[in-house]
Amino acid sequence: MRISHRFQAYILLSSFIFVSHSTHLTAQSDSTAPKPAAQSGADKRDGQHDFDFEGGSWKIHLKRLLHPMTGSNSWVEFDGTSVTRKVWNGRAWLEEFDVASPTGRVEGLTLRLYNPETHQWSLYWANSKNGSLGGPPNVGEFKNGRGEFFCQDTYNGRVILIRYLWSDITPNSAHFEQSFSDDGGKTWEVNWITDQTRVNNESAKAR
């Protein structure tokens, strides 16, 4: 019986050492394993400099649809300027917009704010006629040099989607369009088009 007890003790001790060693190896393996969540966050594109091209003074040509969402094709054209200044070291931009035509004047303000957590921009528009930020911000980002920003709002009592689109961006020019959709984004009607040209070809001091 004493021999049997010693043998059993030896078996138990050997099993304990084996299990402990295996657990230690597993823990080491887990500590070096890749963590998908951390990698996913690191892979997100940092877009906080996407609006750097806007810094400085611009000549603006605006085409504006007079009666959106009515089937009308009557446009009016404006000319003027805009000046955009950097805020928070480029994580925000403030644009003063001023254009006029024989039919009237558009004096506006655009505030663009970058969210470093979502890697997206929120674009706010204000008109001097009412002196307040109008509606929810358009939120989005740039991909391959093209910026798309969306929000849901109301127009003449109807719920619509609004899309801002930035494209054809160069150091000295850019193209912008605003569109409305009342069918959930299946179709879009463009109602605001601006083409801008830098006042001079030098790099903007606001950058």
Q: Give the Cα separation of 88 and 134 in Å (integer).
A: 23
Q: Is the dihedral of CA 138, 135, 60, 52 positive or negative?
A: negative
Q: Give the Cα separation of 24 and 55 in Å (integer).
A: 57
pTM: 0.76
CA 47 to each of CA 79, 123, 165, 189: distance values in angstroms, whole numbers, following the listed order = 30, 14, 16, 28
Fill in the DSSP letter of residue 49. T
pLDDT per position in the chain (207 positions), as tens?
Answer: 333 444 343 333 344 334 344 444 343 444 444 444 444 445 678 899 999 999 999 999 999 999 999 999 999 999 999 999 999 999 999 999 999 999 899 999 999 999 999 999 999 999 999 888 888 999 999 999 999 999 999 999 999 999 999 999 999 999 999 999 999 999 999 999 999 999 986 544 544
The full set of domain ranges for the chain reads 2-33, 52-198
Given 3.30.70.100, 2.60.40.10, 2.40.128.20, 1.20.1630.10, which CATH number is that of 52-198? Answer: 2.40.128.20
Q: Report pLDDT for 195.
A: 98
Q: Report pLDDT for 194.
A: 98
Pairing relationship of beta strands 75-87 and 56-65 according to DSSP bridges: antiparallel
CA neighbor of 126 nearest in space, from 134, 138, 114: 134
Structural contact between residues 12 and 4, judged by C-beta atoms closer than 8 angstroms: no
Q: Report pLDDT for 43.
A: 65
